Amino acid sequence: MIDSNERLKKARSDRGYLNPSEAARAFGWNVNTYRSHENGNRDISKSAAIKYANAFNVSVDWLLTGVDKSGTNKEHSISTPTGINQIPIRYVPLLELGQVYMGISNDGFSEADQKFIGISGLSKLSDDVIAVEIPDNSMIENPFIKGVSFTAGDVAVIDKKAKVLPGDFILALVPNLEEAMIRKYKVVKTDNDGFATIELVPLNSDYPTIEVEGYLEEIVIGKIVQRISNI
C-alpha cells in the first residue's frame, strides 16, 4: 500500500492539477506546507486531510489510510466528478479583521489554527483571494435590502488584485484607528502619484464615515466579490 503523501499526489493529479504549486494556489493553501505534505517531509494531520479530501473529492479515510469507512481499498478508484454539473470548490484563507490589520496570514499560524472556507464560483478571480467574517452591522442598508446588506456573521470574499472603482465595497486599512474594515469606497481627491483622500462609507447611518489619507495601494486591500450569508 502506498503512503498517504503518494495518495495525496494521486488525488491532486486526478483532479487535473499538474503540480503542487498549482493546486495550492487554486485553493489558497500555503505552497510550502502543501508541497511538504505531498513529498512526505511532513505528516498529514487530520485537519489538513479534511481540507485536501474536500478539495480533491476523496474520502479522508482513504487519504490517510488507503481504506474507506466501508473497508474497501480505494487505492485505484479515486472518483473525479466530470461534466457540466461539476461545481469547483476553492478553499481560501478565512481571517479576522484584526489579523488583516496586523498583516498576519495563515502562514503565521500553526496548522491546527489555520482556517479556510470552501467557496464556489471563484475560477475567474485572481490567485490572491481571502475571506473575512463581518464583525458588526455597519454594512446593513437602511431599509434592509437583501443581497446588498452585510450582517454580522456574513463572510466577505475579497479579491486583492481586482480593480477597485468608486462605489465598490472594499476591505481597507485605517492606520489612525489601527483597524481594518469593510466599507463602501468613495474617492474625495487623488493626485498623479496615487496619494489620495478617500471616504469609507458605512451603509448603516448609525456608524460614522471614516476619512483616510494615503497611497491607495497601502489603504485598499481588495474588492469584495462575493458575500456569503450566515442566514
pLDDT digits (tens, 9 = 90+) for 46-62: 878 888 888 888 888 88
Domain CATH number, residue 148 = 2.10.109.10
Whether residues 49 and 122 fall in one domain: no
Whether residues 220 and 115 fall in one domain: yes
pLDDT of the residue at 137: 92
DSSP state at residue 59: -
SS3 82: coil
Whether residues 115 and 218 fall in one domain: yes
Whether residues 130 and 71 fall in one domain: no
pLDDT of 219 higher than 90? yes
Whether residues 126 and 74 fall in one domain: no
Phi, psi of 40 (to 5 degrees): 85, 10
Question: Does 98 reside within a domain?
Answer: no
Strands 129-133 and 89-95, how do they pair?
A: parallel
Contact 152, 137 (CB under 8 A): yes
Whether residues 211 and 137 fall in one domain: yes
Question: Does 172 reside within a domain?
Answer: yes
Q: pLDDT, tens digit, for every residue of 148-192?
A: 788 899 999 999 999 999 999 999 999 889 999 999 999 999 888
Q: Which residue has the cell 457540466?
A: 84
Domain CATH number, residue 55 = 1.10.260.40
Whether residues 151 and 221 fall in one domain: yes
Domain count across the chain = 2
Whether residues 72 and 141 fall in one domain: no
Cβ count within 10 A of residue 231 = 6
The CA radius of gyration of the chain, in Å to the nearest whole number, is 20
Q: Give the structural domain span for 66.
A: 4-79
